[in-house]
């Protein structure tokens, strides 16, 4: 295993806690294009986040897409140096990353490594036991010729069974045919019981009287695993003898995919929309109740793409009608897409998306965008007010019509919402990160600076008890406050002298921030 140095960027940083304006951090800083990020949070350490994305790297004599990762161990305040997953032949590219932590803290990553013309490569899985800093040698899960005519390696979604059932520890990957393969197509899956080193034979999610049909080119199966150990997948279908309407089915297996039971999630005549919109969908299951699940998807039934949630409270047997999450004016021509969501450990649901409500243009072309989120406390049957994630309105760039910008990602822990997405605010497609206190819409950002500001300093750092704050100029009657890494205020006082001391004995060991006006400095309590 190759070791990558974990660089603590915080020594060159200050932290701004932003109460009205969202804060975003560019975590990819690619020179050409970064796309389709994925974010995972360690269940054994809620401060350990790992981000992965597609980014260009010089290899094989040219620039090719590689999967890059960065890890954080302080809730996204600082990040490790970027790590690139390996290619398996000259001129190979990579795509479509996803990750899953086991309940014991092992992290699994799946991605495509391939070449078109001649078609070769597959889907690979690697493992990390140190929170995403290092990866072992990847194992091949799918080969491009597993179903020779279909090239079944596109959009691999990786999920893991973290239940206490007999199926615990099982890995599942769903895929679909390569995008250049015309319909008719089906979806596929494999499972592994040895940490992704070996995999079952390729099989179909759609079987029997619940087939995809001959009209859908890219029938993605969105997977999930329930608390009770069931493997689930949601996918589109249109076969008139099965259902007179196009629909989404839920496939549910209690025996690691050997057999499935099926129910209909949603059936309707599809509304016409611009195919440039990113119409990916996601299936989520509550981590505390196997009966509660949601399907998130864009829905154009109101005349433009809205973000919708369909929910079930009985294990997928029955489903609600689509609930419109975005709260802008109905049918205003301002479309939403790029949906993603997550449950927190208490069963609350957050949904994130790309939003054009503030654009001057309607439709897809020339419409700038922001990113938003909304929280549900009743399993997607209603949502609190929409809140903005992006710190600025992003002008339209035609690159968002291209492949490699089909998904964003988020993680939700307690009241902390962690979100990653790609946008073109700086003239390139880069990956941005936001940490938000979801209930109060407070966001936290790290700025990389040349050094601390000269107006005030803190010492010693780390500290055992007494922390001294020294000012180079008078700033009387300003508030000085201490926050934890989640943005919660723990202490406040007015500045009354050029040298102040704060007894930190009331703080437990950890990372904290002292904030004066809009500037904050990090310190460690031993």
Domains defined along the chain, listed by start: 9-448 (2.120.10.10), 456-525 (2.60.40.10)
**pLDDT band at 453; cut points 50, 70, 90:** very low
pLDDT in tens, 210-225: 999 999 999 999 999 9
Residue 428 DSSP label? S
**pLDDT band at 9; cut points 50, 70, 90:** very low
* Sheet architecture: strand order including 456-459: 456-459, 466-471, 499-503
C-alpha dihedral, 354 to 360 to 365 to 371, nearest 10°: -10
Are 496 and 479 in contact by the 8 Å Cβ rule? The answer is no
**pLDDT band at 444; cut points 50, 70, 90:** low
Nearest to 349 by CA among 359, 341, 361: 341
Q: Is the pLDDT of residue 147 over 50?
A: yes
Are 194 and 135 in contact by the 8 Å Cβ rule? The answer is no
C-alpha dihedral, 316 to 320 to 325 to 327, nearest 10°: -170
Per cent of the chain over pLDDT 70 is 91
**pLDDT band at 450; cut points 50, 70, 90:** very low
Classify burial at 74, counting beta carbons within 10 Å of its beta carbon; exposed 0-12, middle 13-18, buried 19 or more.
middle
Query: Which two tokens mark 149?
Result: 């005519």
**Tell me, what's the pLDDT at 11?**
30
**pLDDT band at 61; cut points 50, 70, 90:** low
Where b means 16+ CB within 10 Å and e means fewer, 459-479 reads: eeeebeeebebebeeeeeeee
Are 160 and 137 in contact by the 8 Å Cβ rule? The answer is no
CA distance 120 to 134: 26
**Tell me, what's the pLDDT at 93?**
92
Neighbours of 204 (CB within 10 A): 18
Query: Which two tokens mark 244?
Result: 């007179």
**Tell me, what's the pLDDT at 486?**
59
Residues with Cβ within 8 Å of 244's Cβ and at least 6 positions away in sequence, in order, are none
Neighbours of 291 (CB within 10 A): 16
Average pLDDT, the chain: 90
Please give the full DSSP string across 210-245, using - where no structure is assigned. Answer: ----SS-S----EEEE-TTS-EEEEEEE--TTT-SS
Q: What is the CB-side half-sphere exposure of residue 507 using CA atoms within 13 A?
A: 27
The answer to whether the bond into 383 is cis (omega within 30° of 0) is no
**Worst-scoring range by mean pLDDT, 53-67, 77-91, 371-385?**
53-67
pLDDT in tens, 284-320: 999 999 999 999 999 999 999 999 999 999 999 999 9
The pTM (predicted TM-score) of the whole model is 0.83
**pLDDT band at 5; cut points 50, 70, 90:** very low
**Tell me, what's the pLDDT at 8?**
29
Measured on CA atoms in the order 267, 271, 276, 278, is the torsion positive or negative?
negative
């Amino acid at each position: 295993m190759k070791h990558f140095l974990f660089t603590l960027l915080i020594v060159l940083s200050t932290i701004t806690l932003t109460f009205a304006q969202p804060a975003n951090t560019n975590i990819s800083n690619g020179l050409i294009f970064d796309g389709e990020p994925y974010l995972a949070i360690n269940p054994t350490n809620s401060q350990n986040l790992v981000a992965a994305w597609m980014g260009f790297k010089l290899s094989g004599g040219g620039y090719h897409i590689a999967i890059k990762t960065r890890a954080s161990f302080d809730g996204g305040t600082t990040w490790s140096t970027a790590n690139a997953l390996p290619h398996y032949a000259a001129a190979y590219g990579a795509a479509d990353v996803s990750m899953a932590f086991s309940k014991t803290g092992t992290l699994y990553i799946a991605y495509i490594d391939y070449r078109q013309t001649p078609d070769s490569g597959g889907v690979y899985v690697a493992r990390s036991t140190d929170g995403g800093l290092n990866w072992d040698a990847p194992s091949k899960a799918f080969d491009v010729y597993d179903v020779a005519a279909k090239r079944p390696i596109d959009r691999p979604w990786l999920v893991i069974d973290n239940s206490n059932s007999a199926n615990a520890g099982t890995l599942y990957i769903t895929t679909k045919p390569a995008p250049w393969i015309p319909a008719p197509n089906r979806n596929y899956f494999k499972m592994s019981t040895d940490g992704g080193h070996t995999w079952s034979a390729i099989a179909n999610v759609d079987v029997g009287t619940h087939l995809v049909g001959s009209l859908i080119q890219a029938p993605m199966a969105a997977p999930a695993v329930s608390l009770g150990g069931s493997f689930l997948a949601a996918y589109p279908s249109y076969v008139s003898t099965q259902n007179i309407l196009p629909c989404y089915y839920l496939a549910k297996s209690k025996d690691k995919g050997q057999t499935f039971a099926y129910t209909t999630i949603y059936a309707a005549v599809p509304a016409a929309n611009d195919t440039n919109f990113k119409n990916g969908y996601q299936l989520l299951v509550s981590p505390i109740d196997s009966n509660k699940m949601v399907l998130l998807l864009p829905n154009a039934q109101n005349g433009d793409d809205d973000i919708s949630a369909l929910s079930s409270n009985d294990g997928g047997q029955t489903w609600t009608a689509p609930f419109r999450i975005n709260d802008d004016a109905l049918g205003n021509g301002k479309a939403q897409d790029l949906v993603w969501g997550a449950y927190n450990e208490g069963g609350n649901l957050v949904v994130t998306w790309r939003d054009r409500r503030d654009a001057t243009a309607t439709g897809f072309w020339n419409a700038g965008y922001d990113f938003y989120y909304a929280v549900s406390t009743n399993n997607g049957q209603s949502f609190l007010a929409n809140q903005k994630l992006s710190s600025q309105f992003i002008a339209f760039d035609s690159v968002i019509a291209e492949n490699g910008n089909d998904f964003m990602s988020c993680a939700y822990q307690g009241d902390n919402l962690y979100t990653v997405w790609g946008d073109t605010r700086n003239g390139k497609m880069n990956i941005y990160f936001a940490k938000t206190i979801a209930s109060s819409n407070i966001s936290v950002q790290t700025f990389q600076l040349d050094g601390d500001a000269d107006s005030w300093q803190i010492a010693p750092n780390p500290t055992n008890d007494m922390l001294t704050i020294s000012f180079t100029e008078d700033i009387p009657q300003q508030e000085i406050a201490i926050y934890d890494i989640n943005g919660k205020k723990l202490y406040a006082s007015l500045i009354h002298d050029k040298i102040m001391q704060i007894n930190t004995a009331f703080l437990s060991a950890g990372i904290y921030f002292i904030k004066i006006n809009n500037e904050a400095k990090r310190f460690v309590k031993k």
